[in-house]
Structure 1
C-alpha cells in the first residue's frame, strides 16, 4: 500500500518534469538564414525568419514568405538579443540553412563570430557558410528568389547542386570552417555569393513573380582565407583547380580547343591522390588525378571514328585539367601564400618529425613548395552518334 501511495504521489512530478520547459510552435520565430556584418563600433546581425502563416495551407494574403530583421550591437550576442524588440517571438535557429558574412566582416576576421556560433546549443551542423562578395550580408538576405519561396533554401540547394555538377564552388559547414582555421597545415575557403541586378527591387514580392527577375542571388567562386581573414578571390579556373586537388570534382564540363572551335567533355568521375614527402629537408607534393568523361558537344568536324583522334582529345582533356590545377597552385603560392589545399596536413601525416620543423614557417615553405602534377584523362563515351552531322552540312 505504501509503495502504491509513493507512485501515486510521484505521478504529478513526472508529468510536470516532462513539459515544464516546453515551448509552443507558435511562440517561435524559425530562422532560416543569418547574416553578420561589421560596423564601426560592433556588428550588424540580420536574420531571415519564416512567415509561417503564408506557408501553411492554401490561402495567401499576399505577404512575403520570409521577413528579414536586423539589429546592431557592440557584440554579436547583444545584437541577437536586441532583435527581440522587433521580432515578437523567440528566435529558433535549429533549422538554419545558411550563414553569410559580409565581405568587410570576412576581411576583418571571423574568429569572434565563429566563437559565438560554436557556443549555441540549438545550432545543428548541417548549414553552410558563405561570404557576400562585394556587399553586405544584409543585402543578400533581403532578396526575394524565384523557384524557391525561402531564399535560404535556394542558396543551400544551389551550393549543393553547383558543387555536384559544376565544381568551382564548395559547401562548407561550421565544423569544417573552424577546423580549417585552427589547423596549421590547411587554410580556409568559402564560396562567394552576390546580388545581381537591382538590390532594391530584389526585396519586393513582385521580384519573384516576374518571369525574368530583375534581381537575385548568384554563387560566385572561392574566397581565400589566411587564418580567419579573407585575403582575396579566385577566378573560375583556379576555383576548379582547387576542387580537383582537394578531390571535390564529382561532375563538370571541360572545353577543349578543336580547329578554332570547342569540344566539351562532361566529366563523369574524377579521383585525386596526394602524396607528400620531405627529401633532404625540402617538402614535396605529388598530385595524381584520374578523370573520365563523355563528349557533350562537338563544334568542329573532327573524325571521331579514328582512334588516334580520340587519343589526341584525351591528351588535350588531361592538359586542360593540369593547366587548371597548376594555375591554382601558382595563384595560391605567389599571390596569397595560403595553403587551402591542405598540403601541410599531408606533410604532417607522412613525416611528423619534419613537420615540427616546418610548421612554424609553413606560409613561406608553401610558397616555395615543389608540386608535381600528373593527370590521366580518358573520354569513355562519344554519345549516341560517332560523327557529327555538321560535316555533311558543310560539304
Structure 2
C-alpha cells in the first residue's frame, strides 16, 4: 500500500512538472533593442527595431547587411499592434534586451499612461532601458537611422544618454520604474529627456551616413520634457534643465562656466554635487529650502587671475554659487509657469507634515506655485589643476 501511494505521488508530480512547456528557441526570437510608439489617428503605430543576426556573424555574415531591421504595425492598443507585427516577421518579438523606448511628442501630449501599462505588466520588460521623447520627428524616424561608431542605433541612443547624464547635467536618464513612480505618486511629476535628428533625415537613413567622415545627420539630446500627470505640457531649455538636475540631485558631474573679474571665462568641473529639499510650514503656508553643496576643480581658465590669493578663490566661489542658483531659479520659474511639481516638493511636504499634505494634495499642482522656495548654494573649489597660474598669466605683453 505504501509503495502504491509513492508511485501515485510520483505520477502526479510528473503530471504537473511538465518542464519548459512554453519554451521559445533562440532561433525563433527577434531581439528587440529599440521600440517606438507614435499616434496614428485613433490608433497606435508601434515600431520595433530588431537585431539582424546575420550582420554580426563573423563567419557566414555579410558586411553589407544592415545591423538591425525595423518593423511597424498599427493597433487600437500597444499589445494588439505588437501581435499584428507577426504577419510581417518570421520570429517572435523578445523585449528582454530592450535598450530604448521612444514616445513621439504628439502621443506624449495626449498622454502616455495607457501605453505604459503594457510595459509594466509584461514580464519580458526589464528595468534597464531608457525612456525618451522624440522632438519634432516621429519615433519611427529615430529608429530608421544609421549611426557611426555604434552599429546598433538603439544602443547608440542608450549609450549617448548614459554618457551625457554622467558628464553633462542637462540630460537625465529615466528608467521604467522611475517613470511609473513619478506618474503615480502624489506630489511629483515626470520629466523625460528629448531627442532630435540634426541634419538631412533622409540621408541619415542610408548606409552612406556611416561611411562619411562627417555624417549627413546625427542624433542630439536636448531639453527636458515636462509632464503633468501623464501628459507633456512643456519643454525646458538647457539652462532650465541644468537647474532641474541640480535641484533633484541628479548631477553626477558637469561644467559651470563663469566670467572672470578681469574679463574672460573660467570653467569649473563639478565632481561632488549634492542637493536636499526640506519642507516646513510658515504661517500655515508651506515653504521649501533647497540646499546644494558642491566641490569642483578648475578645468579651463581663459583669463589672467592670481589663484594663489584666497580672496580671489572666494570671489570665484561666490560667482559659481550665483551661477548655479540662477540655473535653479530658471527651472523653478518654468515649472511655476506650467504648474507642474517636477521637483517633488509635494513628496517633501508629505514626509514632513502628512496631516497638512492631506488637506492640500487635491489641488497641489496648482497651489505649490504660490509657495516660497529658498535656494542655498555652498560651492568649494578644491583643486587648481596641474598648474597654479594660468597660461594667460605667463604670456608677456
How far is 1:60 from its partner? Answer: 3.9
In the alignment, structure 1 residue 67 sits paired with structure 2 residue 77: no
2:313 to 310, 323, 326: 310
Secondary structure in 2 aligned to 1:18? coil
In the alignment, structure 1 residue 327 sits paired with structure 2 residue 330: yes
2:278 to 249, 252, 275: 275
1:240 to 242, 256, 267: 242
| Residue in structure 2 matched with residue 94 of structure 1 by the alignment | 96
How far is 1:295 from its partner? Answer: 0.5
Secondary structure in 2 aligned to 1:19? coil
- Report the Cα distance in structure 1 between the residues aligned to 2:17 and 2:286, rounded to whole angstroms: 63
Relative distance call for 1:348 and 1:16 in structure 2 (3 A) is closer
1:255 to 257, 261, 264: 257
Secondary structure in 2 aligned to 1:223? strand
Q: Give the conservation status (yes or no) of the 8 Å contact 2:340–2:366.
A: no
- Normalization by structure 1: what TM-score? 0.95
- Report the Cα distance in structure 1 between the residues aligned to 2:248 and 2:17, rounded to whole angstroms: 52
- Report the Cα distance in structure 2 between the residues aligned to 1:291 and 1:12, rounded to whole angstroms: 62
Q: Give the conservation status (yes or no) of the 8 Å contact 1:143–1:217.
A: no
Q: Give the conservation status (yes or no) of the 8 Å contact 1:278–1:354.
A: no
Relative distance call for 1:4 and 1:64 in structure 2 (3 A) is farther
- Normalization by structure 2: what TM-score? 0.95
1:385 to 380, 384, 387: 387
Q: Give the conservation status (yes or no) of the 8 Å contact 2:36–2:102.
A: yes
1:228 to 217, 227, 230: 230
In the alignment, structure 1 residue 299 sits paired with structure 2 residue 310: no
How far is 1:99 from its partner? Answer: 0.6
In the alignment, structure 1 residue 290 sits paired with structure 2 residue 293: yes
Matches within 5 A, 1:95-110: 95-110=97-112
How far is 1:209 from its partner? Answer: 2.3
How far is 1:113 from its partner? Answer: 0.4
2:349 to 347, 350, 369: 347
How far is 1:172 from its partner? Answer: 0.9
2:376 to 363, 374, 377: 374
- Report the Cα distance in structure 1 between the residues aligned to 2:233 and 2:369, rounded to whole angstroms: 15
Q: Which deviations, in whole Å up to 9, do the C-alpha atoms of 1:195-218 show, x marking residues without a partner? A: 111111111122122221111222
How far is 1:14 from its partner? Answer: 7.8
| Residue in structure 2 matched with residue 82 of structure 1 by the alignment | 84
How far is 1:10 from its partner? Answer: 5.3
1:142 to 144, 149, 168: 144
- Report the Cα distance in structure 2 between the residues aligned to 1:352 and 1:385, rounded to whole angstroms: 53
Secondary structure in 1 aligned to 2:127? coil
Relative distance call for 1:111 and 1:285 in structure 2 (3 A) is same
How far is 1:44 from its partner? Answer: 0.5
- Report the Cα distance in structure 2 between the residues aligned to 1:59 and 1:139, rounded to whole angstroms: 30
How far is 1:345 from its partner? Answer: 0.4
Secondary structure in 2 aligned to 1:17? coil
| Residue in structure 1 matched with residue 193 of structure 2 by the alignment | 191
Q: Give the conservation status (yes or no) of the 8 Å contact 1:264–1:297.
A: yes
Q: Which deviations, in whole Å up to 9, do the C-alpha atoms of 1:157-216 show, x marking residues without a partner? A: 111111111111111111111111122200000000111111111111221222211112
Q: Which deviations, in whole Å up to 9, do the C-alpha atoms of 1:282-314 show, x marking residues without a partner? A: 000001111110011011111112111111111
Unaligned runs of 5+ in 1: none
Q: Which deviations, in whole Å up to 9, do the C-alpha atoms of 1:47-83 show, x marking residues without a partner? A: 0000011113255421111011111122222211111
Q: Which deviations, in whole Å up to 9, do the C-alpha atoms of 1:356-393 show, x marking residues without a partner? A: 11111112221111000010111100011111132332
In the alignment, structure 1 residue 126 sits paired with structure 2 residue 128: yes
How far is 1:220 from its partner? Answer: 1.3
| Residue in structure 1 matched with residue 118 of structure 2 by the alignment | 116
- Report the Cα distance in structure 2 between the residues aligned to 1:5 and 1:117, rounded to whole angstroms: 44
Relative distance call for 1:249 and 1:2 in structure 2 (3 A) is same
How far is 1:6 from its partner? Answer: 4.1
In the alignment, structure 1 residue 40 sits paired with structure 2 residue 29: no
